[in-house]
Structures are given as C-alpha cells and as structure tokens.
Amino acid sequence: MEGGGSGGRAASVAPARMTSVSRHYFGGSASEHHHDLHVDIIENIEEDYGMFVWPCSVILAEYVCQQRSRFSASRVVELGAGTSLPGLVAAKVGADVTLTDIAQNSEVLNNIRRICALNSASCTVSGLTWGEWDEPLFDLHPDIILGADVLYDSANFDDLFATVTFLLENSSGAVFITTYHNRSGHHLIEFLMVKWGLKCLKLLDGFSFLPPCKAASLQGNIQLVEIALDKEKHK
C-alpha cells in the first residue's frame, strides 16, 4: 500500500493563481495511511467548472476502484472528463483509457494532459464534443464509458445520449456508467433511455458504497447508474 501525502482531500498550493493539487486515496480505508493507490489532481476553480473535482467524480472514481477487476485490461472512455479522476483511477488499475472533453476547450484538455503527467498515467487525451461526429469518435471502441456529472444541463442531454448510444453500438457488450445529482431529473433520464433504445442495468445510491471518510465530506443526492443498449430495440 502507498503512504505519504496529506490526509483526505487536503490540497497543497501550486504556483499558479488559485490553482491547487488535491490528493485522492483509494482502496483500504481510503485514508492517508491505509490505501492502495492515490491520484493527484490539478484544480483551478477560477477558470472552468471542468477544472474542479466535483462530488460525482469522487463517487464514480471510488466505484471504479472497487470494481477494479472489471476495469483491468478494459478499454475505457471518459466523457466530459474535466479533471479526469474516474478515468485516472481506471488507468491505475490497468485499463486502457481515453480521456475526452469538449474539443474547443483547450484549457481543460491541456490540464488533463498535465494531470496525466503528474500521475505518470499513459492515457490518450482527445477532444470530443457530444453530438458532433468528428473522426476521433469513430476510432473509439470502449468496453466501458464513464461520465461523472455529465447530466447537469438538460439542453445537452440529447447530444450526450446520441454520443453514448453511438459508442455502445460501436462496441458489443459495452456499458455506460455515470453518476449524477438528482437535480438532473431521473424521469427525464428514463425518457431519454427509452428514446435512444437504452436500458438501466443497475441503479445505486452513490453514498451506499463510499468509505465513511469520503461520505462525511460530500453532500447531495447522488445516483450511480449503469446503462446498456436495449438489444430488443437494436435488432
């Protein structure tokens, strides 16, 4: 087990303005002195919401770690990766990971690259805008698609589900795993799953599997859902 560093999610201030590096522990009791791995994240709340670690990201990353045998040697794509915590945990447990965010948002994409370098993670970083059919999208054949708090703006839901559905169709047996605040409206999500020919495989309370030290520092009504193609509708 690894040790060292500051406890919990304490941050050490980096040279850049309003930029910090937070350390996140996984495995064991997910604490400074008892963990299997850690991920360091460069955050900058001033610049963009995609450069801050939100609770949904922490919960999805914890789920990845707890399901590590499932992720090891899998091809993983994270959508709307932002600071990429779930994808980086997947990489650390042996997945082949592609981290994506809005193609035009070079600041976020460059920050993802810096975070990968900080963690010595060999991830592919690619611009991918939901609902746009650019060439990089056609090269992706994931076993697992990740998305933390990607269901935050209902105006983007159709574009997101169009992209997710294409990736699921592009990879037999693939699954989309996402965490979201209930502010998103689960009834709307259910409607979109039906519309795009998808089905729910699993729905969990996001706090049901969190170690106590993490649950105590997070707030919100957060759900984790696993989604797959409804094969009856894709014959």
Q: Which residues of 164-199 are buried (b: 16+ CB within 10 A; e: fewer)?
A: bbbbbeebeebbbbbbbbeebeeeebeebbeebbbe
Structural domains of the chain, count: 1
In a domain? residue 137? yes
Predicted local confidence at residue 1, as pLDDT: 44
Neighbours of 117 (CB within 10 A): 10
Range of the domain at 204: 19-229
In a domain? residue 164? yes
Q: Round the average pLDDT of the chain to a whole number and report it.
A: 88
pLDDT class of 12 with cuts at 50, 70, 90: very low
In a domain? residue 163? yes
- Tell me the pLDDT tens digit for each residue of 165-213: 999 999 999 999 999 988 656 778 889 999 999 999 999 999 999 998 8
In a domain? residue 234? no
**CATH code of the domain containing 46:** 3.40.50.150
